[in-house]
Structure 1
């Protein structure tokens, strides 16, 4: 295990240990394992771990097309996964749109205020006045009963059963290439957003930077593939892949940058 853990950041190691246990359990018991909703970096970790185990296969689903947060299904080779095996429910949020404009944070805050943790929910999508979100099927009835209002406005939920009625992504990722001197968080931010490293460090120290949805105040943090960077006032980016080094010992990276549809 120590040999495996050394390839991951210290803050990721508890998740790596848990994921290894899931994989071992599927191989031993020969039964599928369905996870909670995971972020892209966690999915990348599990995928890399499964790659070393020929007895276990992996599929993911987040309900929506191009979902960011997805559930992972680990299963033995005899098992043939179907859509229903991911146990997902998509709800549309009905609210007085004439009097209230809801943002992603408003909806997420209301969902979390019911007492459920983030792993129970997938993506939240907003297109004009339409709002939809994905939830684990086991908690669908709970949220139907307990989500009664947002900002004192009455709301109710309607299940969306037809995939043709699911909201499509309203954000567009553009893929770009760059070279950096290191994979330090401050160095990558400076390169991706075309700002000075000093400015990048100030943003980090001011608490404006999150990596994989967790506030990060250490500019020395080393980034990995599928790390999602969120910067207040600048948007989001993701390390898609690390492509090795140039002749001048620079590190080649491919990153995605988020552009919101207007």
Structure 2
């Protein structure tokens, strides 16, 4: 087990234990486990652990093809899990309030959590022009439908819809160009959010930054194309492209900020 832990950040050890238990129960007790919604890093951990054990299989489902957050079905290898229900419901939130159009992802997430459910029970949240479509664990969707009456200061109505009526709002990226001295995490974060290097160092060291959903406490970690960085309180960005060096030896980058 100590060798297993060496592959994961200390903050992830509790989840590793939980995932290892799901897999052990599938192998030893022939149990089928439907997990809560997992972020991409958690899904990677589950799949990695399953790959180490030959007698187990995992299927991920987030309600639609491009889902970021997904539930997992962990089962013995012999079990046919293609027809297993992933336990995902769709809640449509609308409002006649003019303030509704000004609400963003964080407003909806905060209000959903405010009715008393855990983040693990929520999948992706899609904010559209006239409605917000939320993927919710089916065992909690009736509760949310009953209790969610306000988002921020806008009164709302909710309706449960079949999954095939999902209006997915794929993430939009606001692109920006940067020139940096190196690909160090702290330097790029400070430039993207226009903060001094000193102001990003401590938050990174204290675990408030993630690279590809994994906690990263090393400010000097080099980033690479495709990396997704989240900085607590400021949002997320993706390193889209390393475009080469300037004549002065600085590195040109194309960054996409999630909006």
TMscore range, shorter length: 0.7 to 0.9
Gaps of 5+ in 1: 175-179, 241-255
Deviation at 1:171, TM superposition (A): 2.5
CA distance in 2, matches of 1:223, 1:30: 43
- The residue number in structure 1 matching 2:80 is 80
Deviation at 1:202, TM superposition (A): 2.2
- The residue number in structure 2 matching 1:2 is 2
Q: CA RMSD in A?
A: 3.9
- State whether residues 41 and 228 of structure 1, in contact with CA within 8 Å, keep that contact through their aligned partners in structure 2: no
Deviation at 1:28, TM superposition (A): 1.1
- The change in CA–CA distance for 1:37 and 1:257 in structure 2 (over 3 A counts) is farther
- State whether residues 126 and 167 of structure 2, in contact with CA within 8 Å, keep that contact through their aligned partners in structure 1: no
Deviation at 1:46, TM superposition (A): 1.1
Alignment deviations for residues 83-124 of structure 1 (CA, whole Å, 9 cap, x no partner) = 652100011101125343211111111011111110010111
Alignment deviations for residues 50-108 of structure 1 (CA, whole Å, 9 cap, x no partner) = 11111111111111331111111111122222465210001110112534321111111
- State whether residues 64 and 166 of structure 1, in contact with CA within 8 Å, keep that contact through their aligned partners in structure 2: no
- The residue number in structure 1 matching 2:151 is 150
Q: Following superposition of structure 1 onto structure 2, how do residues 87-102 of structure 1 map, counting pairs within 5 Å?
A: 87-100=87-100, 101-102=102-103
Q: Following superposition of structure 1 onto structure 2, how do residues 1-262 of structure 1 map, counting pairs within 5 Å?
A: 1-82=1-82, 85-100=85-100, 101-171=102-172, 187-191=184-188, 199-205=196-202, 210-211=209-210, 218-220=217-219, 228-231=228-231, 235-237=235-237, 258=256
What's the TM-score, normalizing by structure 2? 0.75
- State whether residues 185 and 220 of structure 2, in contact with CA within 8 Å, keep that contact through their aligned partners in structure 1: no
- The change in CA–CA distance for 1:259 and 1:218 in structure 2 (over 3 A counts) is closer
- State whether residues 67 and 124 of structure 2, in contact with CA within 8 Å, keep that contact through their aligned partners in structure 1: yes
Alignment deviations for residues 22-57 of structure 1 (CA, whole Å, 9 cap, x no partner) = 110111111211111111111111111111111111
CA distance in 2, matches of 1:111, 1:128: 19
* SS of corresponding position for 1:18: helix
- State whether residues 172 and 258 of structure 1, in contact with CA within 8 Å, keep that contact through their aligned partners in structure 2: yes
Which region of structure 1 is more displaced relative to structure 2, 70-79 or 130-139? 70-79
Gaps of 5+ in 2: 176-180, 241-253
CA distance in 1, matches of 2:227, 2:119: 18
Deviation at 1:169, TM superposition (A): 1.2
CA distance in 1, matches of 2:174, 2:83: 26
Deviation at 1:151, TM superposition (A): 2.8
- State whether residues 63 and 163 of structure 2, in contact with CA within 8 Å, keep that contact through their aligned partners in structure 1: no
Tell me how many residue pairs correspond in the alignment: 236
